[in-house]
Amino acid sequence: MQALLIAGPTASGKSALAIHLAKKFNGVVINADSMQVYQPLRVLTARPSVEEEAEVAHELFGHVGADQPYSVAHWLVDVTAVIGRVLAQGQLPIVTGGTGMYFRVLSEGLSDIPAVPDVVRARIRALEAEIGVAALHARLLACDPETALSLNPTDPQRVIRAMEVFEATGRSIRSFQGPRHGAVIDPARALAVFLAPDREVLRSRIDQRFDQMLRQGALEEVEALARLGLDPALPVMRAHGVPGLVGALRGDMPMDQAIDKGKADTRRYAKRQHTWFRHQASDFIWMKPEEARSRIESLIETGS
Is 118-176 a CATH 1.10.1520.10 domain?
no
Closest CA to 70 of 230, 222, 235: 235
pLDDT at residue 284, as a whole number: 97
Please report, for the chain, the start and end positions of each structural domain, with discontinuous segments joined by +: 3-111+180-302, 118-176
- Structure confidence at residue 304 (pLDDT): 61
Q: Do domains 3-111+180-302 and 118-176 have the same CATH topology?
A: no
Q: How many CA atoms lie within 13 A of 10 on its CB side?
A: 29
Would you mind telling me the total number of residues written for the chain in this entry?
304
What's the pLDDT at 158?
A: 86
- Cβ partners under 8 Å of residue 267, min gap 6: 203, 206, 207
CA-to-CA distance for 231 and 221, rounded, in angstroms?
17
Q: CA angle, corner 244, sides to 69 and 97, nearest 5?
A: 50
Q: Which CATH number fits domain 3-111+180-302: 1.10.3720.10, 3.40.50.300, 3.30.1330.60, 3.30.465.10?
A: 3.40.50.300
**pTM score, whole prediction:** 0.85
| Integer Cα distance of 265 and 44 in angstroms | 13
- Per residue of the chain (304 residues), give pLDDT as tens: 899 999 999 999 999 999 999 999 999 999 999 999 999 999 999 999 999 999 999 999 999 999 988 888 899 999 999 999 999 999 999 999 999 999 999 999 987 778 788 788 888 988 988 999 999 999 999 999 999 999 989 888 789 989 999 999 999 998 887 666 788 999 999 999 999 999 999 999 999 999 999 999 999 999 999 999 998 878 899 899 999 999 999 999 999 999 999 999 999 999 999 999 999 898 999 999 999 999 999 999 998 6
